[in-house]
């Protein structure tokens, strides 16, 4: 891989989390999810983890500098020279600036930003079809991965349900917030020549092949 420090950017339902795991299996890059890293730093009570815990426990949004500190701490824990895929971070331009500043201080830089393009109508269609088993939490999708018997889990026979977060009105609110927040971020990375767009409304293996081609392409630096 020529591009080894990578950000995956995409709306909820774009498949970027799944792709981050798939690409990691086929490369030496490690996926770093913002949610998992935050939970780990809090659990391990690291300096930045304790700072973040104050906000999480009061139900407040973790400020940009602290969440960036958490992610930098996660990156520092990787064996020297390990490439990574950031998933779910940065979400704002200040976070991106802080991340890139922190990496520069370690003589590192971001090599590519993969932007998962998917229009709102397609996202809504994907998410409203999500179902999950109430017993074993196995995920289903009425269109792409339906259960053998309607409403029943293939694995454990439990009843399938729709998460409250997956209702159309909730999705539209989340998408609006996402678009407002990330539009400036997309422009920020485009200005730096790092933005690589992938059309995400295709079968997963085609999206994956496009991402691998991006990671194997030479860097401009």
User: Using CB under 5 A, which of 71, 133, 207, 214 touches Zn ion?
Assistant: 133
User: Residue for token digits 């409203």?
Assistant: 128
As to burial, measured by CB atoms within 10 angstroms (0-12 exposed, 13-18 middle, 19+ buried), residue 159 is: exposed
Rg (CA), the chain: 18
User: Using CB under 5 A, which of 120, 158, 175, 178 touches Zn ion?
Assistant: 158
Active site residues: 16, 91, 130, 163, 174
Select from 69-77, 157-165, 183-191, 209-217 the region that touches Zn ion (CB under 5 A).
Answer: 157-165
User: Using CB under 5 A, which of 32, 153, 196, 198 touches Zn ion?
Assistant: 153
Count of residues touching Zn ion (by CB under 5 A)? 8
* Residue 154 makes contact with Zn ion by CB under 5 A: no
* Residue 160 makes contact with Zn ion by CB under 5 A: no
Torsion of CA 77, 83, 88, 89, to 10 degrees: 70
Q: How far apart (Å, rounded) are the C-alpha atoms in residues 190 and 212?
A: 20
* Residue 135 makes contact with Zn ion by CB under 5 A: yes
Local structure of 113: helix, strand or coil: strand
Query: Which residue number, 101 or 151, has a Cβ lying nearer to Zn ion?
Result: 151
Smallest separation, CB 156 to Zn ion (Å): 3
From the centroid of its chain, how far is CA 130? 18
Query: Which residue number, 2 or 134, has a Cβ lying nearer to Zn ion?
Result: 134
Smallest separation, CB 134 to Zn ion (Å): 8
Token reading at 117: 């393009």
* Residue 145 makes contact with Zn ion by CB under 5 A: no
- Residues present in the chain in total: 221
Bridge partners, 112 (sequence order): 6
Q: How far apart (Å, rounded) are the C-alpha atoms in residues 187 and 4?
A: 22
* Residue 83 makes contact with Zn ion by CB under 5 A: no
φ and ψ of 186, to 5 deg: -60, -45
Per-residue binder mask for Zn ion (CB under 5 A), 30-59, x = binder: ------------------------------
* Residue 149 makes contact with Zn ion by CB under 5 A: no
The site for Zn ion (CB under 5 A) is made up of: 133, 135-136, 138, 153, 155-156, 158
């Amino acid at each position: 891989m020529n591009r080894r420090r990578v950000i995956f950017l995409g709306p909820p339902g774009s498949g970027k989390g799944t792709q981050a795991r798939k690409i990691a299996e086929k490369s030496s890059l490690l996926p770093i999810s913002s949610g998992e890293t935050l939970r780990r730093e809090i659990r391990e009570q690291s300096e930045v983890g304790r700072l973040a815990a104050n906000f999480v426990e009061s139900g407040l949004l973790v400020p940009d500098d602290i969440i960036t500190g958490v992610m930098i701490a996660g990156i520092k824990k990787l064996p020297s020279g390990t490439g990574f895929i950031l998933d779910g971070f940065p979400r704002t331009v200040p976070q991106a600036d802080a991340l890139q500043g922190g990496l520069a201080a370690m003589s590192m830089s971001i090599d590519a930003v993969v932007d998962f393009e998917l229009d709102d109508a397609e996202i809504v269609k994907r998410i409203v079809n999500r179902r999950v088993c109430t017993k074993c939490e196995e995920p289903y999708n009425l269109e792409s991965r339906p259960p053998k018997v309607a409403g029943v889990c293939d694995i454990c026979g439990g009843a399938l349900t729709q998460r409250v977060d997956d209702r159309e009105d909730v999705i539209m609110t989340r998408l609006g917030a996402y678009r407002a927040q990330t539009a400036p971020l997309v422009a920020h990375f485009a200005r730096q020549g790092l933005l690589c767009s992938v059309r995400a409304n295709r079968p997963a293996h085609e999206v994956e092949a496009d991402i691998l081609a991006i990671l194997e392409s030479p860097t401009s630096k």
